[in-house]
Amino acid sequence: MHYHSLDNLRTTMMLMGLVLHAAGPYMEAAYLPDDPIANHPFFDMMFLFIHTFRMPAFFIMSGFFSALLVERRGVVTFVKNRANRILIPFLIGYFTINILIQAAYVYCFSNYTMAPVVKWFSTGTFLLPVITPTVHLWFLYFLLIFYVGVYVAVRIKGLKATLPGHTLSRWLVSGWAIPVWIAFSALFLWFMPGATFYTPSDLTPSPIILAGLGMYFVFGWLLFQQPHWLTSIQRPAWWLLLGGLVVFVIYAIMMLQISHNTALPTTYRVDLSALSATSTWLISFGLIGLFQRYLDQPSPLSRYLAQSSYWVYIIHLLICTYVQIWLMPVAWTAFGKFAVGLAITFALSLISYDLFVRDTVVGQVLNGRRATPIWRMVLQLRRSTADTPLFLTKVRQLFR
Residue 314 has pLDDT above 90, yes or no: yes
Mean pLDDT of 259-272: 68
Specify burial of residue 386 (Cβ count, 10 A radius: 0-12, 13-18, 19+).
exposed
| Domain identity same for 322 and 387 | no
| Domain identity same for 376 and 263 | no
| Domain identity same for 388 and 318 | no
| Domain identity same for 232 and 375 | no
Q: Give the model confidence (pLDDT) of 20-46 as tens digits.
A: 999 999 998 877 788 888 999 999 999
Residue 101 has pLDDT above 60, yes or no: yes
| Domain identity same for 193 and 318 | yes
Taking the C-alpha atoms of residue 193 and residue 278, their distance in angstroms, rounded to an integer, is: 17
Q: Give the model confidence (pLDDT) of 349-399 as tens digits.
A: 999 999 899 888 888 888 877 776 765 666 555 556 656 665 556 556 655
| Domain identity same for 144 and 233 | yes
Residue 270 has pLDDT above 80, yes or no: yes
| Domain identity same for 251 and 395 | no
**Total domains present in the chain:** 2
Amino acid identity of residue 17, one-letter, is G
Domain that holds residue 89: 4-369
| Domain identity same for 386 and 363 | no
| Domain identity same for 199 and 146 | yes
| Domain identity same for 383 and 253 | no
CB 328 within 8 A of CB 8: no
Mean pLDDT of 10-20: 96
| Domain identity same for 187 and 225 | yes
Prediction pTM value: 0.90
Taking the C-alpha atoms of residue 268 and residue 33, their distance in angstroms, rounded to an integer, is: 30
More confident residue, 13 or 192: 13
How many percent of the chain have pLDDT more than 70? Answer: 86
| Domain identity same for 159 and 289 | yes
